[in-house]
Amino acid sequence: MRGPATELIHAGESGMGDAVPLTTPIYETSTFVFENAKELVAYNEGRSSKYLYSRYGNPTIVSVERKLAVLDRAEKALLFSSGQGATTTILMAHAKAGDEIVCSAAIYGGTLHLLHDLLVKFGISSRFVSIAELGTPERIIGERTKIVWFESPINPTTRCVDVQAIAQACRARGVLSVIDNTFASPINQQPLALGVDLAMQSATKYLNGHSDVTGGVVTGPAALVDPIEKVRRMVGTVMDPMPGYALGRGVKTLPLRIARHNANAQAVAEYLEADRRVTRVYYPGLASHPDHAVARLQMFGFGGIVCFDLDGQYERAERVFDRLKVIKRAASLGGVESLISMPVLTSQWGHTDDQLRQAGITRGMLRLSVGLEDAADLIADLDQGLAGS
């Protein structure tokens, strides 16, 4: 008779082979059991489909990675504990001391800080280029350039760049192109099909879509993703099974959600554009958007982010921001809930007038992540908010 401590730990574990679940369960385990030494040798020699340790791989995570690879028509996908975890791991795998990263100056703040403040400490330098310079991509690549990192659409102005042109210029020079595809999601934009080497996303946003998970993903060919997987093991930026499960559940409705985000955002953008209290509206789906033509060519839908300007006046933007009721004041985006932010209070906090001008941002801008509520309620909320402007 084994003692109660032994029984409580070992009785009833595994051995549920006859229960075939429809959905992938949460494999909430840090490690996996082997029968004997031979099985371990087979694993080490790559002749086994077994799992060893959850930092190396976990069935809950792998099931979601397979979905995300299929979605991007990629050979492989890797999940990370956050979008920043994905970015860091990609860059550590593919850049080394002495290399230069060329990065869009209009980029997610976290990416900017990572390149500007942290990677320099490891001898990896960065050069930031404007949206105009990204328009002639063959000219932005220098002697030491290893990676070109960019976004489209870009936060918060939703400006778009020619993804295929950048990818081609990089390929011609043997430079790795990486896009942060978070704003578009794979439903609205397929960067790998446009020739980009690697596509990264914050899974925190549209992929999960319910504002309750932090995660990141990269997709691409095995030759480029395998080295990233090796680094993920070393630095431990892997996603846990519990958020992996939530993400796998959330992503099942991605096409339905994105269709509604697109439709709601278009309706909101058209309403704002027709309202005289609003100076300017940025939405790639509007004919007035500076990059509408390229967006139409490379996107299947224009996304859920709408940016609008109240004459550059902070006080007016603040009044509208504070009055909204259905739309919540919060950072982040891509969830079922509509969220609003003031770029000068979040991603562009502390920036000088000059820096703001370069990024095409004003103090009177509001960025709206249009959620899945009824469009009429969102428009009514904006209408009563603007009444105070």
Q: Which is nearer to ligand PLP, 110 or 388 (CB)?
A: 110
Contact pattern for ligand PLP over residues 148 through 177, marking x by CB under 6 A: ---x---x----------------------
CB-based contact 94:224 (threshold 8 Å): yes
Residue from 204, 208, 211, 219 in contact with ligand PLP (CB under 6 A): 204
Give residue 268's identity as a one-letter amino acid code: V
Facing residues of 366 across strands?
Answer: 308
Q: Pick between residue 183 and residue 283 the one whose CB is nearest to ligand PLP.
A: 183
> Does residue 55 carry a catalytic annotation?
yes
Contact call for residue 216 and ligand PLP (CB under 6 A): yes
The whole-angstrom separation of Cα 369 and Cα 383 is 16
Whose CA is closest to 344, among 386, 315, 304, 378?
315
Give the single-character DSSP code of 54. T
Place of tokens 């980029």: 107
Q: Which of 58, 60, 84, 264 binds ligand PLP (CB under 6 A)?
A: 84
- Number of H helices and E strands in the chain, helices first, is 15, 12
* C-alpha angle 224-236-21 in degrees, rounded to nearest 5: 85
Q: Which of 24, 61, 83, 179 binds ligand PLP (CB under 6 A)?
A: 83
Instruction: Look at the block and give the residue holding tokens 């009824």.
Output: 374
**214 binds ligand PLP, rule: CB under 6 A:** yes
Please give the size of the binding site for ligand PLP, defined by CB under 6 A: 15
180 binds ligand PLP (CB under 6 A): yes
Q: Which residue among the candidates 76, 146, 205, 316 is catalytic per the annotation?
A: 205
Active-site option among 72, 180, 291, 309: 180
DSSP state of 53: B
Q: CB-wise, 58 or 155, nearer to ligand PLP?
A: 155
Of 107-136, which residues contact ligand PLP (CB under 6 A)? 108, 110
Which is it for the CA torsion 242, 244, 249, 254, positive or negative? positive
Of 71 and 200, the one with the shorter C-beta distance to ligand PLP is: 200
Residue 285 binds ligand PLP (CB under 6 A)? no
Catalytic residue among 50, 55, 67, 319: 55
Give the nearer residue to ligand PLP in terms of CB position, either 60 or 182: 182
328 noted as active-site residue: no
Cα separation, 197 vs 181, in Å, equals 12
With binding defined as CB under 6 A, does residue 241 bind ligand PLP? no
Residue type, 250: G
From 23-31, 180-188, 282-290, 349-357, span contacting ligand PLP (CB under 6 A)? 180-188
Q: Which of 150, 175, 256, 264 is nearest to 209 (CA)?
A: 256
Task: Using alpha carbons, list the distances in angstroms from residue 287 to 153, 292, 303, 347.
Answer: 15, 6, 15, 27
Residue 60 near residue 193 (C-beta atoms within 8 A):
no
Closest approach, Cβ 347 to ligand PLP, in A, equals: 9
Of residues 289, 284, 299, 298, the one with CA closest to residue 370: 284
Look at phi and psi of residue 98 and say left if phi exceeds 0, alpha if psi is from -120 to 50, else beta: left
Residue span 33-72 as binding mask against ligand PLP, x where in contact by CB under 6 A, dash where not: ----------------------------------------
The footprint of ligand PLP (CB under 6 A) covers 82-84, 108, 110, 151, 155, 180, 182-183, 202, 204-205, 214, 216
